[in-house]
């Protein structure tokens, strides 16, 4: 009788403290592994989303600048008493960054019959490439511009162009070259080391 009671008690007894602690440790390890896997997936998705957004921004930037350049017209602009060429590119710092200004076809902001076109430009300000609008095609000396940031995190923005001499020139107009260049080479270097080049044929 006593043997039967001992067998029954052995079958019904609960977990020992050591068994519970071992089970909790195993559950903690499984939970930790699951958390790390979920965090890695979340971080990977965030990085992929950020990378996708960056390339979409760059694609929009190059589409915008190419669209503007293809609308460039050989119409000089007046700035106060001075005349500015239809297409103007200058190296503005020791790093070789460029400033670009040109006349594109389109409605003028001024209410003046017979005038059609816009004076726009692209430049690097800090770490951003900006699109710049002048209020009119021909402007006074103190005309205020409007600037819109297009791309952030930029380390270098260079523009060169080729004319009839088949040479890439960092400045325009160049000796013997006027009007609109035949093609433009845009070099964009980002702060993370990414470099993107685009050649745009204009004529």
Does a structural domain hold residue 62? Answer: yes
180 with 172: CB under 8 angstroms? Answer: no
Q: How far apart are CA 19 and CA 27, in angstroms?
A: 12
Q: What percent of the chain has pLDDT over 70?
A: 87
Q: How far apart are CA 87 and CA 10, in angstroms?
A: 95
Mean pLDDT, the chain, as a whole number?
85
CATH code (residue 155): 3.10.610.10
Residue-wise pLDDT for 142-160, tens only, equals: 889 999 999 999 999 999 9
Does a structural domain hold residue 6? Answer: no
Residue-wise pLDDT for 65-88, tens only, equals: 999 999 999 999 988 888 899 999
pLDDT score of 113: 42
Model confidence, pTM: 0.72
pLDDT score of 88: 95
Which residue would you say has higher pLDDT here, 120 or 113?
A: 120
Does a structural domain hold residue 5? Answer: no
DSSP string across 109-123: SS--TT-EEEEEEEE
Does a structural domain hold residue 1? Answer: no
pLDDT score of 122: 97
Band of the pLDDT at 174, cuts 50, 70, 90?
Answer: confident
Total domains in the chain come to: 1
Does a structural domain hold residue 4? Answer: no
- pLDDT at residue 61 greater than cutoff 90: yes
26 with 33: CB under 8 angstroms? Answer: no
- pLDDT at residue 8 greater than cutoff 80: no
Does a structural domain hold residue 2? Answer: no
Q: How far apart are CA 179 and CA 197, in angstroms?
A: 24
Band of the pLDDT at 109, cuts 50, 70, 90?
Answer: very low
Does a structural domain hold residue 65? Answer: yes
Helix (H) or strand (E) holding 102: strand 98-107
Residue-wise pLDDT for 11-33, tens only, equals: 556 668 788 888 888 888 888 88
Q: Which residue has the tokens 């609109």?
A: 180
Q: Which domain holds residue 157?
A: 12-203
């Amino acid at each position: 009788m006593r043997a039967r009671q001992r067998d029954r008690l052995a079958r019904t007894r609960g977990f020992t403290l050591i068994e519970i602690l071992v089970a909790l440790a195993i559950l903690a390890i499984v939970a930790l592994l699951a958390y790390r896997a979920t965090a890695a997936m979340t971080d990977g998705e965030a990085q992929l989303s950020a990378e996708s957004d960056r390339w979409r921004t760059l694609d929009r930037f190059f589409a915008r600048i190419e669209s503007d350049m293809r609308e460039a017209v050989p119409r000089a602009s007046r700035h106060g008493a001075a005349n500015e060429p239809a297409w103007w590119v200058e190296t503005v710092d020791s790093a070789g960054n460029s400033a670009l200004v040109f006349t594109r076809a389109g409605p003028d902001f001024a209410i003046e019959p017979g005038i059609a076109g816009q004076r726009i430009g692209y430049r690097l300000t800090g770490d951003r490439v900006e699109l710049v609008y002048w209020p009119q095609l021909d402007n006074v000396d103190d005309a205020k511009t409007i600037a819109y940031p297009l791309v952030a995190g930029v380390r270098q923005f260079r523009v060169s162009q080729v004319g009839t001499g088949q040479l890439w020139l960092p400045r325009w107009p160049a000796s013997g070259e006027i009007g609109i260049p035949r093609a433009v080479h845009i070099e964009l270097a980002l702060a993370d080391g990414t470099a993107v080049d685009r050649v745009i044929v204009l004529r």
